[in-house]
Amino acid sequence: MGGGAEAGEGGEVVAAELRSADSRGGCPHMNLAMKNMRGKAAPKTVDGYLASIPEPAQSTLRHIRAVIRSVVPAETTEVISYGIPMFKFRGMLVGYAAFKNHCSLFPTGSGVLDRFEKELKGYRTSKGTIQFPPDKPLPDTLVKKIVKARVKENKEWD
């Protein structure tokens, strides 16, 4: 792994990778997604990832995916990165994932969460992640605003 990361037993990412992701503006929570995949075959496709998620999170994430797809540029691709679905346009845009007790949206840009602080009131947030209940997606309008902001950032950084 890059960034001086070390893999522990079973391939989980240890503190060096968490520090490395944090210093790059990454999200340590995404590394937890990788750790949670330990012992499971990592999905190779977004459809495979979604098919492996139990309800109600599966329906929620399928909805989030559709909302994101509705606003990204046509040349945007979907990939599995860090063991989770990510949208890629001139770099990573946003990702999403299901966990035991919540789902998360990962807007990968710097400062995106700060810009939407008022609208995110009531959701648990930390650097690089927005958590929401598995049975209640984030509001479509909020997801669209976040994704559009990330597209704009990536266009400016390119």
The distance between the two most distant Cα atoms of the chain, rounded to a whole number of Å, is 42
**Vertex 95: Cα angle to 29 and 30 (nearest 5):** 15
How many folded domains does the chain comprise? Answer: 1
Q: What is the pLDDT of residue 126?
A: 87
Show the domain range for 75.
41-157
Q: What is the pLDDT of residue 157?
A: 80
Distance CA 13, CA 1 (A): 9
Q: pLDDT tens across 13-49, in order?
A: 223 333 333 333 444 444 444 444 445 667 889 999 9
Q: pLDDT tens across 55-72, in order?
A: 999 999 999 999 999 999
Q: Tell whether 33 is covered by a domain.
A: no
CATH of the domain at 56: 3.90.1150.200
Q: Tell whether 62 is covered by a domain.
A: yes
The side-by-side arrangement of strands in the sheet containing 84-88 is 77-81, 84-88, 92-98, 103-107, 129-132, 124-126
Q: Tell whether 139 is covered by a domain.
A: yes
| Measured torsion, CA atoms of residues 14, 19, 24, 25, in degrees rounded to the nearest 10 | 100
Determine how many CB atoms are found less than 10 A away from the CB of residue 12: 17
